[in-house]
Amino acid sequence: MNSRIRSVDVLRGFAVAMMVLCNNPGNTDRNYIQLRHMPWGGLTFADFAFPFFIIVMGITIPVVIEKRLALKVGMAAIISKVFIRSIILILLGLFLNGFPIFDFHSMRIPSVLARLGIVYLFASIVFLIVKKSFKDDRYVIGSLIIISFIIILGYYFFIKPYGFNIEGNLEQKIDSYYLSGHLAYITWDPEGIISTIPSIATGLLGCIMGCLLNYKNINDYYKVAGMIALSIVGFIGASLFSRVIPYNKMIWTSSFVLITGAVAALSLALLYLVCDIYKKEGLLKPFIFLGSSPIFVYLVSELIRKTIWRIPIYDAQFKEPLLFCRWVTLRFVTPWAGQWLDSLYFSILYVMLWMWISSKLYAKDKIIKI
């Protein structure tokens, strides 16, 4: 992959857009249902945001590592770079959790960025070992598929004895024992210890997609066919697994890994056809801009969510002080959007604002990489 693959850039931007969209409702009292995570089992649009983010990160792993191997960079140096970036992501996650109070006695430890860092570390090391073991891309892809399947199947049997209910599951037991007082909820965390294991499989599914895109001995249409085949296998596996273990983002069930991976693979196949084969990415450029500095956009948008959005605003039109984001929604969006969709429109407009900011940075070649 000597030049940038636009479909990957678009998918990355779409993942960032989903995360910003779902994390910033204009009015939490009537947040659009598809922008809310399911409290336990089931799926909504919001539940695809984080897996897509992990998958896109996984897609880039073969690109980066193969470039370094081509430049004769040693394994120790590559692993060192991977380890440093992973630590940075974990530390940024801790910073975001603590901001702005930094109460270390009760501060949440798991985080989205920490999980990204852990998945990046393990997925990179697995890919590097497999790549050094096999020169043929077919064996590399096959090995990654086998390893992913072992993790997905192993995780199912690992947590099955404890059940999949919100009370008594293995995630709850492990989190409450090792991280008590430092969780998103009293006894468990959606980015907890045990559920990080299957998220590594999510990252490896991204690596498989990256290997397909990077495959040098097949043409573009075979790459699309390969991703569609991967998505079909994922849909079938998700359907079978969902009969015994439901879709559940909160404990990242095996069926959840497969369904999100399948949707991502199909999305990438379609985007690759449109953006890289037919070169028709024009209308999708805002997502390219947004995805050019993904961690930066996510980090700053979360800082804003924890500060500016929480500033109380006093307005004579309302009988009580309102949080800033809710005040903006009720004052400027609700009058024309109505009470049913005002929160959704606020979120969409906020994403569009970030697209505009990102386009200005992109135009000046100011790509903020973390």
Residue 322: strand pairing partners: 313
Rounded CA-CA distance 180/162 in Å is 19
SS3 state at 24: coil
Number of C-beta neighbours around residue 123 at 10 A: 28
Enter the tokens of residue 86: 């992973």
Please report whether residue 363 resides in a domain.
no
pLDDT score recorded for residue 3: 62
291 with 15: CB under 8 angstroms? yes
Q: For residue 357, is it within any domain?
A: no
Dihedral sign from CA coordinates of 16, 17, 22, 26: positive
Q: What does the pLDDT profile of the chain (370 residues) look like in tens digits? A: 446 889 999 999 999 999 999 999 998 888 888 999 988 889 999 999 999 999 999 999 999 999 999 899 999 999 999 999 999 999 999 999 999 999 999 999 999 999 999 999 999 999 999 999 998 899 999 999 999 999 999 999 999 999 989 889 999 999 999 999 999 999 999 999 999 999 999 999 999 999 999 888 889 999 999 999 999 999 999 999 999 999 999 999 999 999 999 999 999 999 999 999 999 999 999 999 999 999 999 999 999 999 999 999 998 888 889 999 999 999 999 999 888 899 999 999 999 999 999 999 999 888 888 7
Q: What is the CA radius of gyration of the chain?
A: 21
How far from 245 is each of 161, 241, 252, CA to CA, in Å? 12, 6, 10
Answer yes or no: is 190 within a domain.
yes
Decide if 315 is inside a domain: no
Entry field: residues in the chain: 370
Question: From the CB of residue 6, how many other CB atoms can be counted at a distance below 10 Å?
Answer: 20
List of residues 6+ apart from 140 with CB closer than 8 A: 127, 130, 131, 134, 211
CA gap 62, 305 in Å, rounded = 34
Distance of alpha carbon 209 from alpha carbon 56, whole angstroms: 9
The residues, any chain, with a CB within 8 Å of residue 356's CB and separated by 6 or more, are none
pLDDT value, residue 211: 95
* Residue 103 lies in domain: 6-26+38-289
Instruction: Say if residues 254 and 194 touch (Cβ distance below 8 Å).
Output: no
Record the tokens describing residue 238, joined without a space: 């998700």
- Would you say the C-alpha torsion 269, 270, 276, 281 has a positive or negative sign? negative
DSSP 215-274: -SSS-HHHHHHHHHHHHHHHHHHHHHHTTTS---TTTT-HHHHHHHHHHHHHHHHHHIII
Give dist(CA 116, CA 261) in Å, integer.
16
Instruction: Please report whether residue 296 resides in a domain.
Output: no
Look at residue 87 in the predicted model and tell me its pLDDT: 97
Q: What is the number of domains present in the chain?
A: 1
* CA 67/CA 51 separation, integer angstroms: 25
DSSP H/E element including 141: helix 137-159
The answer to whether residue 350 is domain-embedded is: no
First to last CA, the chain: 21
Q: Is 102 within the bounds of a domain?
A: yes
Q: Is residue 98 part of a domain?
A: yes
